[in-house]
Amino acid sequence: MPNYGEFEYWDERYAREPAAFDWYQGYTGLKTMLHRVFPLESRLLQIGVGSSRLQEDMVKAGWQSIVNVDYSRVIIGQMAELHKGYEQLEYSVADARSMPEIEDATFDGVLDKGTLDAVLCGEQSAAGAAAMLAECYRVLKPGCCLLLVTYGDPSSRLPHLAEVPGWAITVWAVTRQEAVEALDAEPVVRPLLKGPYPATNADCMDALSGLEGMHFIYVCRKEERGEPGDADTGAAAAMAGAAGFGLGEEANNAEGAGASVD
Ligand SMILES: C[S@@+](CC[C@H](N)C(=O)[O-])C[C@H]1O[C@@H](n2cnc3c(N)ncnc32)[C@H](O)[C@@H]1O
């Protein structure tokens, strides 16, 4: 398997294949959740932008400010050149595990599609994932969200999110792009049960069955410290085994109203 956790791999890949490539999902599959979570006037940070065109499609849909970072200088150079006519898009080199150049609580939203997955392929992957998620938390304003798009189901991703106390998390599933294209259908986005997912709980296993054709979207809201409900909604609580298993108010409403979800 390629070493997705090393920046040398990405630099070499982008030098060899400069063409656009979107991992997992493009704008079509994500637009429902993007509109639900990020108001158009948000100042957004996308970590590990790669050769994705998601941010370009978001600007065409009305978003006004997206800062894009990647630790590959090669791709940041290419993307900055490609989008030099877009005043809404900025590009800079940064390692998402440590971004001292970004001040605390300066973004209204953070977007990650595939970067946590890449970090989890690297050496000291758990520490790297924890550092990256802590940085996402730090740069977000209180009450704002990290939107994490991944192939990883809740049993594999909630433990990493739980390393950063203070997230209120809901999990969604979206049809894989390949299936949507094969069937020439609209992508389906649906709320998924909130954790925990112990292997011994038959209901949990039922809930997680039939998800092979799905990607997962974690909407992680930065709670105000001491905000009522921290203990009930944070990732740590989600993993702690308390009730909280089911499609509650939070799963339906946490990111704001208005989007239709099939
Ligand atoms: C799987 S690709 C996803 C690219 C893009 N977000 C997409 O959805 O098409 C992962 C990207 O994350 C970048 N990356 C991996 N680890 C990183 C880190 N620690 N800091 C910044 N970028 C990173 C890689 O260079 C690569 O561009």
178 SS3 class: helix
Which range among 12-26, 116-130, 213-227 shows the weakest confidence by mean pLDDT? Answer: 213-227
Q: Measure the CA–CA gap between 57 and 162, rounded to whole angstroms.
A: 32
**What is the whole-number distance in angstroms between the Cα of residue 129 and the centre of ligand 1?**
13
| Buried b or exposed e, range 190-216, using 16+ CB within 10 angstroms | ebbbbbbbeeeeeebeebbeeeeebbb
The residue nearest atom 3 of ligand 1, judged by CA position, is 114
H or E stretch covering 58:
helix 54-61
For domain 7-243, give the fold. Rossmann fold (3.40.50)
Give the pLDDT confidence score for residue 197 in this predicted structure. Answer: 47
What is the domain partition of the chain in residue ranges? 7-243
Tokens of 135: 């940085």
Q: Which atom of ligand 1 is nearest to the CA of 25?
A: 8
In tens, the pLDDT along 50-97 reads 999 999 999 999 999 999 999 999 999 999 999 999 999 999 999 999
Residue 98 is classified by DSSP as B
Give the pLDDT confidence score for residue 99 in this predicted structure. Answer: 98
**What is the whole-number distance in angstroms between the Cα of residue 119 and the centre of ligand 1?**
8
**What is the whole-number distance in angstroms between the Cα of residue 114 and the centre of ligand 1?**
6
pLDDT score of 221 more than 60? yes
**Any ligand 1 atom below 6 A from CB of 35:** no
Q: Measure the CA–CA gap between 172 and 197, rounded to whole angstroms.
A: 15
Backbone angles phi, psi at 32, to 5 degrees: -60, -45
pLDDT range class, residue 191, cuts 50, 70, 90: low
